[in-house]
A = this chain, B = another copy of it.
Amino acid sequence: MEKTLFVVRGEETLPRWQAAFPEGEHGTVEQARSSIGSGDLVWVSERVDEWPTLVRQWSQRGAAVVVLSYRPSQAQGLEALEAGARGYVHALANVEVLRQAATVVTHQGLWVGPELLSRVVGSSFRAMGGAPRASREWLERLTERERAVALAVADGQSNKEVARRLAISDRTVKSHLSAIFRKLEVRDRMQLVLRLSQSETVDS
């Protein structure tokens, strides 16, 4: 019954997970599927396919489920909580944080990062020791024209719409965008939007 196990994909298990829970078992979904019951502490990697479904099943069985994410986001965190997870932790969190989260969730508490917490309950959690996020300094790295393009794109506009707004060709918009992606190290406009909307809420 009261056992700790990590559900991962392949050989994903990290040393720090074992360090935090030497007694914990590690395995894939197939190995874990049937053995999980009430009172168990289950860590599920976001790399596991269909983790929301699994979280739903296991939490309904009474297990305390924590989702390990490599790229935490509000949307994913809410997805985890909605599925019944009691915790949402960065997969690379240190041993102390993992143990702390374990303590909390096994005591019927909710463990989420300060950032997500602020989304869940409002903005006032920012002042509670949550590390202040990076500012929009990275926008300074862009030229004036690139910044205009970035903001327009982050507004949800297509390349053609941006071109019309700035009175330039859509080819030029693409050129600027390539430069933007390279400088900000994002892969596409979607990541740009996410990054911009994140830093915007922190500043305001």
A residues whose Cβ falls under 8 Å from a Cβ of B: 46, 49-52, 56, 59-60, 62, 73-76, 78-79, 81-84, 100-101, 103-105, 107-114, 117, 119-125, 127-129, 148, 151-152, 154-156, 164-167, 189-191, 193-194, 196-198, 200-201, 203-204
Contact = CB atoms under 8 A, between A and B. Distances in A.
A37 to B, nearest CB: 13
Nearest to A108: B114
Complex copy number for this chain? 2
15 contacts: A50-B167, A59-B127, A60-B128, A74-B201, A75-B155, A103-B107, A103-B109, A108-B111, A108-B113, A119-B124, A119-B200, A155-B194, A193-B193, A194-B197, A201-B201
In this complex, the member of A112, A121, A148 whose beta carbon has the largest number of chain B beta carbons within 10 angstroms is A121
Contact of A100 (B46, B51, B107): B107
Nearest to A154: B75
Given A75-B154, A110-B112, A190-B193, A83 B124 contact: yes
Contact of A81 (B73, B122, B189, B196): B122
A107 B114 CA distance: 10
A108 B101 CA distance: 8
